[in-house]
Amino acid sequence: MSNEAEAARAKLDSLSGSARRMLDYVALLEEEARYAVIRHMARATEEDMVVDLREVVEAGIVSAVAGQPNTYEFVDPAALAIVMDEIGEARLPKLRARAEAARKRVRGGPG
């Protein structure tokens, strides 16, 4: 494992379970990782979302996207690779469907 991957693994291992799950959603949403969509996927309270977002931002894994309010992206490519690997092929279709349903709810369409 490279030094970058080891550092990313240490960051990921330090997170709470709910913050770690949030990273799954941010990874799947890619450029559409907006707060409202993440919240629909997470089915979390406003307070819990703020706590989890603060945790992943302070860990240096995710940051707010400049010029796009309430939108987040991975800043650590090694962490993104680990998260995607851990999601795995078996969970990927279910999480993608959940992401699409969350996008539709946020847009106000049927979902």
Provide the CATH number for the domain around residue 36: 1.10.10
Instruction: State the pLDDT at residue 111.
Output: 47
Distance of CA 58 to the CA centre of its chain: 14
Domain that holds residue 66: 3-104
Instruction: Tell me if 111 is assigned to some domain.
Output: no
Query: What is the Cα–Cα distance from 67 to 16, expressed in whole angstroms?
Result: 28
Specify the number of domains making up the chain.
Answer: 1
Instruction: State the pLDDT at residue 44.
Output: 87
Q: What is the pTM of this model?
A: 0.88
Instruction: Tell me if 12 is assigned to some domain.
Output: yes
Instruction: Tell me if 25 is assigned to some domain.
Output: yes
Instruction: Tell me if 49 is assigned to some domain.
Output: yes
Instruction: Tell me if 109 is assigned to some domain.
Output: no
Only one residue has tokens 């993440």, namely 38
Percent of the chain scored above 70 by pLDDT?
97
Residue 61 and residue 76 in contact, taking contact as beta carbons nearer than 8 Å: yes
Tens digit of pLDDT for each residue in 9-56? 999 999 999 999 999 999 999 877 999 999 999 988 999 999 999 999
